[in-house]
A = this chain, B = another copy of it.
Amino acid sequence: MSVTAAKGFTAAGVAAGIKESGGEDLALVVNNGPRRAAAGVFTANRVKAAPVLWSQQVLKGGAVSAVVLNSGGANACTGPLGFQDTHATAEQAASVLGLGAGEIAVCSTGLIGTRLPMDRLLPGVEEAAGRLSEYGGEKAALAIKTTDTVHKTAVVRGSGGWTVGGMAKGAGMLAPSLATMLVVLTTDADLDSAALDGALRDASRTTFERIDSDGCLSTNDTVLLLASGAAEVVPDGTEFTEAVRTVCDDLAQQLIRDAEGASKDIRIEVRNAASEDDAVEVGRSVARSNLLKCAVHGEDPNWGRVLSAIGTTGAVFEPDRLGVAVNGVWVCRNGSVGEDRDKVDMRYREVGITVDLAAGPESAVIWTNDLTADYVHENSAYSS
Contact = CB atoms under 8 A, between A and B. Distances in A.
Interface of A: 44-48, 74, 76-79, 82, 111-115, 176, 178, 214-219, 288-291, 294-295, 297-300, 302-305, 307-313, 317, 319-320, 322, 332, 334-337, 371-373, 375-384
A151 B208 CA distance: 45
28 contacts: A44-B312, A45-B311, A46-B317, A47-B307, A77-B304, A77-B307, A77-B332, A79-B320, A82-B336, A113-B332, A178-B291, A216-B290, A216-B291, A216-B305, A217-B311, A219-B308, A290-B290, A290-B379, A294-B375, A294-B379, A295-B379, A295-B382, A297-B376, A298-B381, A298-B384, A302-B382, A373-B376, A375-B376
Contacts of A219: 304, 307-308, 311
A215 B371 CA distance: 14
The 10 closest A-B pairs by CB, nearest first: A112-B304, A298-B380, A47-B311, A79-B336, A294-B379, A373-B373, A45-B311, A46-B311, A113-B304, A294-B380
Nearest to A341: B113
Given A320-B79, A337-B113, A300 B217 contact: no
Contact of A290 (B78, B113, B215, B309): B215
A56 to B, nearest CB: 14
A181 B297 CA distance: 24
A237 to B, nearest CB: 34
A147 to B, nearest CB: 12
Contact of A215 (B77, B112, B288, B381): B288
Nearest to A175: B312
A71 B198 CA distance: 55
Contacts of A384: 298-300
A291 to B, nearest CB: 5
A111 B47 CA distance: 40
B335 A300 contact: no
A82 B295 CA distance: 24
A379 to B, nearest CB: 4
Given A76-B304, A79-B320, A216-B290, 7 more contacts: A47-B311, A77-B304, A214-B291, A217-B312, A294-B379, A297-B380, A371-B376
A24 B186 CA distance: 65
A77 B336 contact: yes
Contacts of A111: 304
Given A48-B319, A295-B379, A176 B78 contact: no
Nearest to A297: B380
Contacts of A310: 46-47
Contact of A309 (B79, B113, B216, B294): B216
A300 B384 CA distance: 7
A47 B319 contact: yes
A383 B317 CA distance: 27
Contact of A379 (B291, B320, B376, B383): B291
A79 B337 contact: yes
A335 B215 contact: no
Contacts of A332: 77, 113
